[in-house]
Amino acid sequence: MDDLKAKYLSLIAAAGDEAQIEDLRIAALGKKGEISAAMRELGKMTPEERQTAGPALNALKDEINSALAAKKAALGDAALDARLRGEWLDVTLPSRPRRQGTIHPISQVTEEVTAIFADMGFAVAEGPQIDTDWYNFDALNIPGHHPARAEMDTFYMHRAQGDNRPPHVLRTHTSPVQIRHMEKFGAPCRIIAPGRVYRADYDQTHTPMFNQVEGLAIDKDISMANLKWVLEEFFAAFFEVDGIKTRFRASHFPFTEPSAEVDIQCSWVDGQLKIGEGDGWLEVLGSGMVHPHVLQSAGVDPAQWQGFAFGMGIDRIAMLKYGIPDLRAFFDSDLRWLRHYGFASLDVPTLHGGLSR
């Protein structure tokens, strides 16, 4: 019995995992185990022999059982410790957003533009990407045979013969949102309307789908001076250069009178474009005082209300700010491009927290 005890206690002490413990339990205490076999011998003993051997065997059995249980618990703790060491994680480390998806520059710039205009009291308005030709053209003072319709390379929606709903187009600009917003909410108003627009055009600086942001401010006494201030505030905040100069060039749009195209100050140094310095100019948007016909179409009385509007290419200002040379790459969904030009998903642009940092 002493031999059995010494043998099993040392085997248990040397066991390396829970499977070995189980094997030892079976070898000692299982049906065909050595201690079980010794127990069976008790039957063949004299009553006197049994009186000493019985309790001693039972004590041995208990001792082996508790040694097995203790070793099993110790091995379990060791396994848990090893797992905890292996899976250790410092939850105070910063996240690693570069390993995940990135925010597309168009989304980033849209957020930046929205943050800046929101700070000046502009709300965000939206309109449908498929709109009627009335909202896209007529209501904006572009009648049926106006050359601006042809210039826009409009995508017309297919119409089955006999379909007499008004013709629908993929909107060629965000300007129809002006009409829809004023129709619904009237004057005064102060909105921007970012979104997708469509024109049949494709080269390094044109894609059939691109993004614009429309601006509209209507009140009793809004003037071109307000337009100039708002745009200069915007460009300074967006390009993160104070005192950026703008140039207003007389132009023509059917929906504004007077109309102006706006350039921002820039320079070219060693083929590198710098915004907000030097004596070069870059055209960035169209603008003007909303035409009385446009107010009228939207049910706003032009005798009482007036204001400015502008339309700007989001993709274009994104290219300028982040040095992206080819517009088409925006819409290629090339992962390498997205990793290079994309933004960390947790850095939401705000004026106080920084737009692009």
Choice between 64 and 300, CB closer to ligand DAH:
300
349 binds ligand DAH (CB under 6 A): no
The number of helix segments (H) and strand segments (E) in the chain equals: 12, 10
Q: How many angstroms separate the CA atoms of 328 and 58, rounded?
A: 85
The separation between CA 238 and the C-alpha centre of its own chain, rounded to angstroms, equals 20
Q: How many angstroms separate the CA atoms of 180 and 191, rounded?
A: 12
306 binds ligand DAH (CB under 6 A): no
**Torsion angle, alpha carbons of 315, 143, 296, 136, to 10:** -30
Choice between 122 and 341, CB closer to ligand DAH:
122
Choice between 238 and 255, CB closer to ligand DAH:
255
Q: How many angstroms separate the CA atoms of 181 and 300, rounded?
A: 11
Strand partners, 212: 195, 313
Q: How far is the CB of 286 from ligand DAH (least distance, A)?
A: 3
Helix, strand, coil shares of the chain as percentages rounded to 5? 45, 25, 35
173 binds ligand DAH (CB under 6 A): yes
CB-neighbour burial class of residue 325 (10 A; exposed 0-12, middle 13-18, buried 19+): exposed
Q: Which residues between 195 and 224 bind ligand DAH (CB under 6 A)?
A: 214
Q: How far is the CB of 280 from ligand DAH (least distance, A)?
A: 22
Q: Using the rule CB under 6 A, which residue among 102, 110, 154, 175 binds ligand DAH?
A: 175
Q: Applying CB under 6 A, what is the total number of residues that bind ligand DAH?
A: 12
Q: Which residues between 230 and 289 bind ligand DAH (CB under 6 A)?
A: 253, 255-256, 286-288
Are 298 and 160 within 8 A, CB to CB?
no
187 binds ligand DAH (CB under 6 A): no
194 binds ligand DAH (CB under 6 A): no
Q: How far is the CB of 216 from ligand DAH (least distance, A)?
A: 7
Strand partners, 268: 273
67 binds ligand DAH (CB under 6 A): no
- What residues line the site for ligand DAH (CB under 6 A)? 173, 175, 214, 253, 255-256, 286-288, 309-311
